[in-house]
């Protein structure tokens, strides 16, 4: 029997206090943990091998997902909402196998599970499993001994192979209220929604045909309703078959005639079109580029009218901030979702370039510590980006605000960890290397729980892993820019340098540069000098005195300096930074290791990065919106 099995296992380890929210519109090998025959094939997860009748595969989300104070009882689950799209191919019609399952457990290998049967999750016994096991089965095989109603049903299993409730696979038409069966073995695209109420112990499972001919995607959150999956530009699956000797039907002949007439009309209007195209010129070229993005990237396109209504006509009382690239407004969508609407300056030389960069980078990135782009809008030369609204503003604003109480050390340290994880994802966790190129505290936003999210991808660049980043014009912000940019251009190490500046900024409560006080040393120079004199703890922000362990703070300051090493080859990468922050790991105390002397264009910059301030193509340290 061909076993077609999908296990997306949400692992429940220790109690989790942070929100989970992810969406995969396609998959890479770094997204999940695969076992058995599960693998990535053209950005889609395949779980079985057609030539093996006993093939089975599993895919696990690698991180702890749901909060549970007691890992021995299913009743302690937190609530969640998820949706995904799947397809079961009828490769062997007389041996359909067992289908697939969505699984929640605290173990990747349930005790007593038989790998060749029962979804690879249970034994043939009706005795409840020892480990907590919640299974939503999309079953394409009938086992009468376990009271399966038929070979095409959806069931909910709790610690047992026998479902506590089942229903024939299908959905209700909302207009006619008619139940319409779905053959899950047909190869059609099927979308599943699963909502679990951990408090009331209620679960709701819904399936329906996917809205377009697209394949597997996955969205999950434990904060409200899971983000909807956008199915544009996902690979078509299964591939369409073609006949080797097609014949022309009467309808086809009629179609050829219609097409011929259409071609004549197009030819006769060609001169007019060329004249019109030339007249519109550059404006039309820009709008055409944007139309191409709409086909290539998935973020939702909002209508201009939607955003006008959401922001009360872009009124002044909704203005959150402004900068060299445009303005940001607070808005409320029709479903009461609060958003931030970024209006890119259409008269800026970098406006269209920034718009393209943000659409092409963050539009495809999904990580809990990156700002979530909800969509975009274009009307004429007006360009707008729509993000989740961050009610606590920027890290820069919270640290240096004179009207708010200072942010405590534990919050600061947690935000640094959040940003480190987000940057690690950009550098190592996605199918491309993403260089942010403008990491600074004003581009780190704080959500309602004071968790950090890295935003503003207007200067970001995408590269294939292993590809040497191209040398481009110098961009960035004074005080955050790595000194080697003068000679070598941007690399992942230059992002690490900028992050190191943020670490020092957060720990010291001091801006990287003070544009109004010329004689004031740069933050890095100041902390470096204190380190070399054995007085590094004197750099700590006095407002958080008594909130930290001395040894932990010392290590954080040394981590910041290590990230700002003048030799980019000696800086830690973001994987190492995350590990250091998690463990408050020891960093070498040798000043030679932290600050070796190097030469840039014949200028000795050891202990002095003031040459960066002489660069012209840079922005000031104020927030760029």
Contacts of 38 (CB under 8 A, 6+ apart): 45, 46, 47, 57, 58, 59
Same domain, 22 and 158: yes
pLDDT for residue 152 is more than 60: yes
Q: What is the pLDDT of residue 470?
A: 62
Same domain, 486 and 596: yes
Q: In the chain, pLDDT over 70 holds for what percent of residues?
A: 59
Pick from 533, 548, 315, 306: nearest CA to 410: 548
Same domain, 358 and 416: no
Q: What is the pLDDT of residue 111?
A: 56
What's the CA gap between 500 and 502, in Å, rounded?
5
What's the CA gap between 72 and 545, in Å, rounded?
41
Write the CATH number for 84.
Answer: 2.60.120.200
Confidence of residue 517 (pLDDT cuts 50, 70, 90): low
Overall average pLDDT of the 1-5 stretch: 33
Is the peptide bond between 238 and the residue preceding it cis, with omega within 30 degrees of 0? yes
In a domain, 285, yes or no: no
Same domain, 457 and 600: yes
Give the CA-trace dihedral at 583, 588, 591, 594, to 10 degrees: -60
Same domain, 470 and 600: yes
Contact 374, 386 (CB under 8 A): yes
Active site positions, annotated: 438
Same domain, 400 and 363: no
In a domain, 287, yes or no: no
Contacts of 105 (CB under 8 A, 6+ apart): 9, 10, 11, 12, 131, 132, 133, 134
pLDDT for residue 85 is more than 50: yes
Contact 384, 344 (CB under 8 A): yes
The reported pTM is 0.55
Asked which of 195, 221, 247 is the last residue of a domain, the reply is 221
Surface-to-core class of residue 223, CB atoms within 10 Å of its CB (0-12 exposed, 13-18 middle, 19+ buried)? middle
Q: What is the pLDDT of residue 228?
A: 57
- The secondary structure of 588-611, three-state, reads CCCHHHHCCCCEECCEECCCCCHH
Pick from 553, 554, 561: nearest CA to 609: 561
What's the CA gap between 146 and 135, in Å, rounded?
15
Q: What is the pLDDT of residue 52?
A: 66
Contact 134, 9 (CB under 8 A): no
In a domain, 260, yes or no: no
In a domain, 112, yes or no: yes
* Strand partners for 171: 180
In a domain, 294, yes or no: no
What separation in angstroms does the CA of 556 have from each of 395, 411, 418, 464?
A: 17, 14, 15, 31
Asked which of 343, 360, 388 is the last residue of a domain, the reply is 388
Q: Give the distance from CA 261 to its chain's centroid.
A: 48
Six token digits for residue 176: 């006619």
Same domain, 358 and 412: no
Same domain, 444 and 573: yes
Asked which of 221, 238, 272 is the last residue of a domain, the reply is 221
Same domain, 552 and 599: yes
Q: What pairing do the DSSP bridges indicate for beta strands 373-379 and 300-301?
A: parallel
Q: What is the pLDDT of residue 40?
A: 81
Show the domain range for 122.
7-221
Same domain, 65 and 125: yes
Most confident of 111-120, 226-235, 576-585, 613-622: 576-585
In a domain, 239, yes or no: no
Same domain, 86 and 128: yes
Which segment of 75-89, 244-258, 483-497 scores lowest on mean pLDDT?
A: 244-258
In a domain, 420, yes or no: yes
Most confident of 105-114, 272-281, 370-379, 387-396: 387-396
- The helix/strand/coil state of 81 is strand
Q: How many domains does the chain divide into? A: 3
Same domain, 354 and 409: no
558 known ligand binder: no
Q: In the chain, pLDDT over 90 holds for what percent of residues?
A: 26
List pLDDT tens digits, range 28-48. 777 787 777 778 876 778 777
Give the residue, 102 or 297, on which the prediction is more confident. 102
Give the CA-trace dihedral at 412, 415, 417, 422, to 10 degrees: -160
Contact 373, 341 (CB under 8 A): no
What's the CA gap between 65 and 579, in Å, rounded?
20
List pLDDT tens digits, range 306-336. 999 999 999 999 999 876 567 899 999 988 8
In a domain, 226, yes or no: no
What's the CA gap between 205 and 188, in Å, rounded?
19
Contacts of 544 (CB under 8 A, 6+ apart): 406, 408, 409, 412, 509
Supply the DSSP symbol for 198.
T
pLDDT for residue 480 is more than 90: yes
- The helix/strand/coil state of 338 is strand
What's the CA gap between 579 and 249, in Å, rounded?
65
Write the CATH number for 363.
Answer: 3.30.200.20
Supply the DSSP symbol for 427.
I
Contact 287, 378 (CB under 8 A): yes
């Amino acid at each position: 029997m061909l076993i077609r099995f999908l296990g997306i296992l949400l692992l429940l380890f220790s109690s989790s206090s942070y929100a989970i929210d992810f969406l995969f519109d396609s998959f890479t090998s770094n997204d999940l943990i695969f076992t058995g025959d599960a693998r990535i094939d053209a950005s889609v997860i395949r779980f079985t091998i057609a030539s093996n009748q006993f093939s089975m595969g599993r895919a696990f989300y690698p991180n702890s997902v749901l909060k549970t104070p007691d890992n021995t009882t299913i009743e302690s689950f937190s609530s969640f909402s998820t949706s995904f799209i799947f397809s079961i191919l009828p490769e062997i019609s007389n041996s359909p196998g067992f289908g697939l399952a969505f699984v929640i457990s605290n173990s990747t290998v349930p005790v007593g599970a038989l790998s060749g049967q029962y979804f690879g999750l249970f034994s043939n016994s009706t005795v409840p499993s020892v480990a907590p096991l919640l299974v939503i089965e999309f079953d394409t095989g009938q086992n009468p001994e376990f009271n399966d109603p038929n070979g095409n049903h959806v069931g909910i299993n709790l610690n047992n192979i026998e479902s506590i409730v089942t229903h024939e696979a299908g959905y209700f038409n909302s207009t006619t209220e008619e139940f319409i069966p779905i053959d899950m073995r047909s190869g059609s695209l099927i979308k599943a929604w699963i909502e679990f109420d951990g408090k009331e112990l209620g679960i709701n499972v819904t399936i329906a045909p996917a809205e377009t001919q697209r394949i597997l995607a996955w969205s999950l959150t434990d904060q409200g309703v899971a983000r909807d999956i956008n199915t544009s530009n996902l690979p078509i699956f299964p591939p369409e078959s073609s006949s080797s000797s097609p014949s022309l039907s009467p309808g086809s002949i009629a179609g050829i005639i219609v097409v011929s007439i259409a071609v004549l009309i197009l030819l006769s209007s060609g001169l007019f079109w060329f004249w019109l195209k030339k007249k519109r010129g550059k404006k039309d070229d820009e709008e055409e580029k944007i139309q191409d993005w709409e086909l290539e990237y998935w973020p939702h396109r909002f209508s201009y009218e939607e955003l006008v209504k959401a922001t009360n006509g872009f009124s002044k009382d909704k203005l959150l901030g402004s900068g060299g690239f445009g303005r940001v407004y607070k808005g409320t969508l029709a479903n009461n979702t609060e958003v931030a609407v970024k209006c890119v300056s259409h008269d800026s030389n970098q406006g269209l370039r920034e718009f393209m960069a943000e659409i092409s980078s963050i539009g495809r990135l999904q990580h809990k510590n990156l700002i979530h782009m909800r969509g975009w809008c274009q009307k004429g030369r007006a360009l707008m980006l729509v993000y989740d609204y961050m009610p606590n503003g920027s890290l820069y604003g919270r640290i240096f605000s004179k009207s708010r109480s200072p942010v405590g050390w534990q919050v600061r340290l947690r935000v640094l960890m959040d940003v480190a994880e987000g940057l690690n994802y950009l550098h190592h966790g996605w199918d491309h290397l993403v260089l942010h190129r403008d990491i600074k505290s004003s581009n780190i936003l704080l959500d309602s729980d004071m968790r950090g999210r890295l935003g503003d991808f207007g200067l970001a660049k995408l590269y294939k892993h292993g590809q040497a980043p191209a040398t481009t014009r110098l961009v960035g912000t004074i005080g955050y820019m790595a000194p080697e940019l003068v000679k070598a251009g941007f690399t992942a190490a230059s992002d690490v340098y900028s992050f190191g500046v943020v670490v020092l900024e957060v720990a010291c409560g001091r801006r990287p540069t003070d544009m109004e006080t010329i004689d004031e040393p740069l933050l890095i120079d100041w902390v470096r000098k204190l380190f070399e004199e054995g007085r590094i703890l004197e750099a700590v922000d006095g407002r958080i005195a008594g909130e930290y362990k001395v040894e932990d703070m010392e290590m954080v300051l040394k981590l910041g300096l290590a990230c700002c090493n003048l030799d980019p080859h000696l800086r830690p990468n973001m994987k190492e930074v995350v590990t250091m922050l998690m463990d408050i790991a020891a960093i070498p105390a040798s000043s030679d290791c932290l600050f070796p002397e190097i030469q840039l264009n014949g200028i000795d910059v050891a202990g002095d990065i003031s040459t960066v301030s002489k660069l012209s193509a840079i922005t000031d340290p104020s927030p760029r919106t």
